[in-house]
C-alpha cells in the first residue's frame, strides 16, 4: 500500500513469504497461586514439551507462551484437566505490520530513525558508521567476527583512549525477535558519544556496545518470520535450523532450561560456542575480561532486571547483595522518568532457569555487575512488536539504567 506522503505500509505479515500465524495462540496463565506457579515452573513435564516462553507480566503474575496451531487444543485440554485456569488469546497479526518511511530507505539514518522506527541491519551499521565518523575521537568500531551467514558483528567502543579504564559492556538482540533491544543499543551509543554531559563519565569508564549480536536472525525475523528467535546456522539432515545463542555460552552448557532438539526455540546448539556469534562475543570479552566490570544483555519483554545465577534455582553469587542494590538503583532511575516499573529479580528463581546464557557466563568470568534486562512492554498485547511510537520512551528509560551502572562502576573501580 502506498500512501500519498511517501509513506509505505510494509505489511510483512501479508507478504507472501512472511510466515503466517493464523490459528496460533498466546497462552496466558495466571500463576499467583503457589500450586499454579509450581505447575508453570514444571510446564515442560506437564505438557510433554517446552512451550515457547514469550515473557511475563509480573504485575499481573501472568506467564505468556506461544502455542502452535496444532497444539492449541491439546494444551488447553491438558491445562483444564489439571485445573489450571488459563486463556488462549488470539494473536493480533496486525501488530506485525511495521510502518516504514520509504523516503528514508536510502538516505542517512539519523537518531530520529533510531527513536521512531525499527532499522534493518544495514541501516544499523550505517548509523554506527556515521556516528564513528562524526565523533572520531570518542567512537571506534571493532569487528568481533562474522555471523553464520557472514554478517559482521561489530562492537562500538566509546571513550576508548588506550588507557586501562574499567569497561561496561552492553550487547543487544541475541534473540532476533526482540527488536526494541537494537534501538536501545543504538540510542545509547549516540547519546553517550554526542552529549557533552557524558564526557566526564567517559573519562573514567569506557563503554563497549554490540548493537546487533544476531544479525542473521534479525534479518530473518524482518523478512520471513516475525517470531524467529535463534541464530540461522544450518545442520545436516535436519528440517530445523538455528540455535538459541543464549543457551550456547560455555557455563553449565546444555543442563537446565535448554533443549537438545534442533527444532526447539531453546536448542542449545551442538556444543558450547557452536554458534559463531557466541564464539566471537566470548572471545572478545575474554580478551579484556579483567577490565570489564559491568555487563548487560538487552532482551525483551517483561520490564525486568535479572541477576545471576540463572542456570538453576536458588543459587546466588556471594556478592549478590551488590547486584541487587545496583539493580534497584537502575530500576529507580528508570522509574523516575515516567513511572515505568522494572522488577529486580534473580533469573533462575522466576518461571524457568536457563543454562548457557550470557549473563551467567559473564559473571563466571569475574565480571561483577552482570545482568539481563528484559525491556518493555509488560502490560499489553504487543510483546516483541512494541509499537514504533513507543521506541523513544524505552530508549530513554533504558539509557538511565545503563548510566547508573556506568556511574557505579566509575565510583567502585
Residues interacting with ligand ARG, by CB under 6 A?
Answer: 246, 299, 306, 310-311, 347-348, 353-354, 357, 359-360, 372
Give the orientation angle of helix 391-412 with respect to helix 180-194, to 10 degrees.
60
Task: Please state, in angstroms and rounded to a whole number, the distance separating the CA atoms of residues 396 and 156.
Answer: 19
Do the Cβ atoms of 274 and 243 come closer than 8 Å? yes
With binding defined as CB under 5 A, does residue 299 bind Zn ion?
yes
Q: Which residue is nearest to ligand ARG (CB)?
A: 310
Which of the 8 DSSP states describes residue 27? E
* Nearest distance from C-beta of residue 299 to Zn ion, angstroms: 3
* Nearest distance from C-beta of residue 310 to ligand ARG, angstroms: 2
360, interface contact from Zn ion, ligand ARG, none, CB < 5-8 Å by kind: ligand ARG
372, interface contact from ligand ARG, Zn ion, none, CB < 5-8 Å by kind: ligand ARG
Do the Cβ atoms of 241 and 235 come closer than 8 Å? yes
- 56, 374, 397, 408: which one is catalytic? 374
Residue that is written with C-alpha cell 521506541 in the block:
391
Task: Please state, in angstroms and rounded to a whole number, the distance separating the CA atoms of residues 253 and 263.
Answer: 18
Cell of 12: 510483512
Do the Cβ atoms of 270 and 130 come closer than 8 Å? no
Give the orientation angle of helix 391-412 with respect to helix 320-338, to 10 degrees.
140
Contact pattern from residue 174 through residue 213 relative to Zn ion, giving x for each residue in contact according to CB under 5 A and a dash for the rest: -x--------------------------------------
- For ligand ARG, the closer of residues 166 and 242 by Cβ is 242
Task: Please state, in angstroms and rounded to a whole number, the distance separating the CA atoms of residues 212 and 405.
Answer: 21
Choices 29-37, 168-176, 195-203, 306-314 (CB under 5 A): range interacting with Zn ion: 168-176
310, interface contact from ligand ARG, Zn ion, none, CB < 5-8 Å by kind: ligand ARG
Q: Has 149 been annotated as catalytic?
A: no
* Nearest distance from C-beta of residue 178 to Zn ion, angstroms: 5
- For ligand ARG, the closer of residues 211 and 353 by Cβ is 353
Do the Cβ atoms of 240 and 352 come closer than 8 Å? no
Q: Which stretches of the chain bind Zn ion, using CB under 5 A? A: 175, 299
List residues with catalytic annotation. 374
Amino acid at each position: 500500500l502506498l500512501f500519498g506522503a511517501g509513506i509505505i505500509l510494509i505489511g510483512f505479515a501479508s507478504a507472501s513469504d512472511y510466515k503466517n500465524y493464523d490459528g496460533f495462540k498466546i497462552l496466558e496463565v495466571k500463576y499467583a497461586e503457589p500450586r499454579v506457579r509450581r505447575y508453570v515452573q514444571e510446564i515442560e513435564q506437564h505438557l510433554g514439551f517446552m512451550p515457547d516462553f514469550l515473557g511475563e507480566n509480573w504485575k499481573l503474575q501472568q506467564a505468556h507462551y506461544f502455542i502452535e496451531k496444532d497444539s492449541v487444543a491439546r494444551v488447553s485440554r491438558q491445562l483444564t484437566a489439571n485445573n489450571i485456569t488459563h486463556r488462549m488469546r488470539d494473536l493480533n497479526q496486525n501488530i506485525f505490520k511495521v510502518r516504514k518511511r520509504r523516503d528514508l530507505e536510502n538516505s542517512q539514518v539519523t537518531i530520529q530513525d533510531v527513536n521512531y522506527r525499527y532499522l534493518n541491519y544495514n541501516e544499523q551499521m550505517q548509523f554506527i558508521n556515521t556516528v564513528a565518523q562524526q565523533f572520531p575521537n570518542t567512537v571506534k568500531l571493532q569487528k568481533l567476527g562474522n555471523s553464520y551467514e557472514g554478517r559482521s558483528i561489530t562492537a562500538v567502543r566509546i571513550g576508548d583512549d588506550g588507557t586501562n579504564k574499567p569497561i561496561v559492556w552492553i550487547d543487544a538482540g541475541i534473540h532476533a525477535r526482540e527488536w526494541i533491544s537494537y534501538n536501545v543499543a543504538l540510542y545509547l551509543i549516540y547519546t553517550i558519544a554526542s552529549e557533552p554531559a557524558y564526557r566526564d563519565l567517559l573519562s573514567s569508564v569506557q563503554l563497549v556496545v554490540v548493537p546487533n549480536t544476531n544479525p542473521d536472525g534479525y534479518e530473518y525475523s524482518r523478512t520471513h518470520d516475525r517470531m524467529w528467535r535463534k541464530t540461522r546456522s544450518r545442520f545436516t539432515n535436519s528440517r530445523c535450523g538455528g540455535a538459541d545463542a543464549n543457551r550456547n555460552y560455555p557455563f553449565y552448557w546444555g543442563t537446565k532450561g535448554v533443549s537438545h532438539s534442533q527444532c526447539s526455540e531453546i536448542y542449545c546448539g551442538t556444543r558450547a560456542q557452536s554458534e559463531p556469534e557466541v564464539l566471537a562475543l566470548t572471545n572478545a570479552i575474554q580478551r579484556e575480561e579483567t577490565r570489564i566490570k559491568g555487563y548487560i544483555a538487552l532482551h525483551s519483554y517483561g520490564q525486568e532486571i535479572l541477576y545471576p545465577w540463572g542456570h538453576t534455582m536458588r543459587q546466588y553469587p556471594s556478592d549478590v547483595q551488590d547486584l541487587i542494590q545496583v539493580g534497584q538503583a537502575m530500576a529507580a532511575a528508570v522509574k523516575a522518568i515516567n513511572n515505568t516499573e522494572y522488577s529486580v529479580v534473580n533469573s533462575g528463581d522466576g518461571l524457568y532457569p536457563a543454562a548457557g546464557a550470557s549473563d551467567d557466563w559473564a559473571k563466571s568470568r569475574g565480571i561483577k555487575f552482570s545482568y539481563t534486562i528484559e525491556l518493555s512492554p509488560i502490560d499489553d498485547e504487543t510483546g516483541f512488536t512494541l509499537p514504533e511510537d513507543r521506541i523513544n520512551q524505552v530508549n530513554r528509560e533504558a539509557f538511565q539504567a545503563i548510566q547508573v551502572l556506568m556511574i557505579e562502576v566509575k565510583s567502585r573501580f
